[in-house]
Structure 1
Amino acid sequence: MSGGAETAPGGTGVVTGGAETASSGTGVVTGEWRPALAPAIILRHDPVRGADLLVMPERIVLLKGEAAAVLRLCDGARTVAEIVGELRDGFPGAPVADDVAEFLGQVRAEGWVR
């Protein structure tokens, strides 16, 4: 991983090495979409760094905040609405619906979820 880190647009909880990640937010994230990690991407916890990582060919993305909690629920079986419901239970009072939809739109635009 290269030196320096930056946060993806909107403070979504994704940090990557290198220049800021641009995201156009392609497509509308609906409650019926069943997001799953793209086939070449692995979500892994690095105990040495004490951090969650997305490991993909030729790139590692350091996740921060609750980004890993959202991505762990992206198993292709749960809808966005179900993911929001589970996170709402775990984070009462947080604006989960808006934040999760925005985050999933950004990681979908990056190609990290399908």
Structure 2
Amino acid sequence: MGQHFAPTGTPKLARGVRLRHDEARGQWVLLAPERVLNPDPVAVEILRRVDGERSIAGIVDELAQAFTVERERVEADVDDFLKGLVDKGMVEVSG
């Protein structure tokens, strides 16, 4: 399947998209114009690092270390997840 993005690419939430913790529901939601996604706990960990500052490689490194998971597995999961959000117009990757 392979890598879709350069490891040095820097993802950020698209304009008008934000990650918020919904206190009433006790869960995280990804809000976009006319859309609400309920990301699972793994997706939340990725999204909390999508700040327009960290590179994809940096996000992968942090997650692999934080959860002691093989870097290659984390890299594939992050890449697939970000690709899905880029396709939906919710994340942009520069670089």
TM normalised by structure 2 equals 0.84
Query: Would you tell me which structure has more strand in proportion to its own residues?
Result: 2
Q: Which residue pairs with 2:51 in the alignment?
A: 75
Query: Would you tell me which structure has more helix in proportion to its own residues?
Result: 2
Q: Which residue pairs with 1:30 in the alignment?
A: 6
Q: Following superposition of structure 1 onto structure 2, how do residues 1-114 of structure 1 map, counting pairs within 5 Å?
A: 28-94=4-70, 95-114=73-92
Partners of 1:30 and 1:110 lie apart in 2 by 19
Partners of 2:75 and 2:35 lie apart in 1 by 29
Residues paired across the two proteins, number? 88
Higher relative contact order (CA 8 A, sep 6+): 2
Q: Structure 1 residue 30: deviation in Å? A: 1.6
Cα root mean square deviation, aligned: 1.5
Which 4+ runs in 1 deviate beyond 6 A? Answer: none
Structure 2 gaps of 5+ residues are: none
Structure 1 gaps of 5+ residues are: 1-26
